[in-house]
Amino acid sequence: MIQATATLAAQVGVSAASRALGVARSTLYRQRQPAAPVSEKERAPSARALSAEERAIVRATLNSERFADQSPREVYATLLDEGTYLCSWRTMYRVLAAHQEVRERRDQLRRPVYEKPELLAIAPRQLWSWDITKLKGPVTWTYYYLYVVLDVFSRYVVGWLIAERESADLARQLLEATCAKEGIAPDQLTLHADRGSPMIAHPVAELLATLGVTESHSRPHVSDDNPYSEAQFKTLKYQPTFPARFGSLEDARAWARPFFQWYNHEHHHSALGLMTPAAVHLGQAAELYEHRRQVLQAAYQAHPERFVRGLPLPPPLPTAVWINPPVFPSEPIGLGQDLELSPSIFPNLSNQLSQSI
């Protein structure tokens, strides 16, 4: 990473390269300084240091069958009680560290490094998000499960179902039917979800591989990697007509049908320039935007004094939607200089742009 920063610094400057790759400028400057020569006094061993034979005895004692499972402090105390002094316990640690023998002896859980999902959509049917939420049933500890598939660019609910359980088979059927209804071609769509058991199940993964759909998952224990589905669930549960409990599965489905009809075709979404999800998803947004612009222009011509900021325009339409947008340098790189997004520096962004444009 330091070498990559130094290479980039030759083109865009140290400050911009350090911010882009997250390397401190002091580290870069320190690497440029030549190493100071070592004096003969520094090279000579200390008179207090153990000899090679003494270090070998210490290491052999610590790795003996008697002391192999004990810490240097325990060995040090035991030997003192027996009238033996080899060295301090800190020196014992140094001897072990010189041979890479200072570590946790028990097996440790090594968690994998999960890559931050960076997903871009510039049109409908490029990026979907799906999730499952619980709906309370008629009595305590009974639930119905609502599956929702959402188009991230248009916020259009392309598919949903309510069932009595979470099931990978039900999720597979919903996704297969939704892709067929929307006419999804191979390598067209990325499907994002969290890491719930139905989302990472083999039947779902096999279906997506067969359909040519790219699979994406949130990082474990990260609550904001799937924000669009969570926001849609909040809209659903904050509806004035949303009941505290549903009397039956049929009751839940009867409530959901008019809600999703309203959400897709009547709900004016603030992130869509106050368009409905259906208008954006079905390609009607540009025509509606022009109609709104003409209405505002007529209102301005009738009473220009009421518009102190000049000719009003409708809220802009969305052009691109991200899940976890990449972070770019906050300051300009320099006059006449561009930061090249090479795959080695920004692999997620380069891959996503190549798939989406």
Please report, for the domain that includes residue 210, its CATH number.
3.30.420.10
What's the pLDDT score for residue 329? 56
Q: Mind listing the pLDDT tens digit for each residue in 236-271?
A: 999 999 999 999 999 999 999 999 999 999 999 999
135 lies in the same domain as 13 = no
Closest listed residue to residue 193, CA positions, set 179, 211, 175, 170: 175
User: What is the arithmetic mean of pLDDT over 146-166?
Assistant: 97
Residues 18 and 145 in one domain: no
Which amino acid is it at 10? A
How many independent structural domains does the chain possess?
A: 3
pLDDT score of 107: 64
| Same-domain check for residues 65 and 170 | no
pLDDT tier at 222, thresholds 50, 70, 90: confident
When pLDDT is averaged across residues 164-184 and rounded to a whole number, the result is 96
20 and 146 share one domain: no
Distance linking the first and last C-alpha atoms of the chain: 29
CB 145 within 8 A of CB 198: no
Q: Are residues 197 and 265 in the same domain?
A: yes
The pLDDT of 163-189, averaged and rounded, is 96
Q: Rounded CA gap, 170 and 196, in Å?
A: 14
What Cα–Cα distance (Å) separates residue 133 from each residue in 163, 196, 312?
11, 11, 41
Does residue 192 carry a pLDDT above 70?
Answer: yes
Q: What is the pLDDT of residue 176?
A: 97
Residues 23 and 166 in one domain: no
Nearest to 89 by CA among 73, 104, 103, 74: 73
User: Do 57 and 172 fall within a single domain?
Assistant: no
Domain co-membership, 8 together with 94: no
Domain boundary among 253, 272, 291: 272
For residue range 338-357, what is the model confidence (pLDDT) as tens digits?
Answer: 444 444 444 444 444 444 43
Q: Are residues 262 and 220 in the same domain?
A: yes
DSSP SS3 for 151: strand
Out of 12-16, 156-160, 184-188, 243-247, least confident range: 12-16
125 and 213 in a single domain? The answer is: yes
Does residue 182 share a domain with residue 65?
no
Q: How far apart are CA 274 and CA 282, in angstroms?
A: 15
Which of helix, strand or coil describes residue 51?
Answer: coil
Residue at 165 is within a domain: yes
**pLDDT, mean of residues 317-345:** 62
Distance CA 303, CA 320 (A): 35
Q: How confident is the model at residue 328 (pLDDT cuts 50, 70, 90)?
A: low
Residue 186 domain boundaries: 119-272
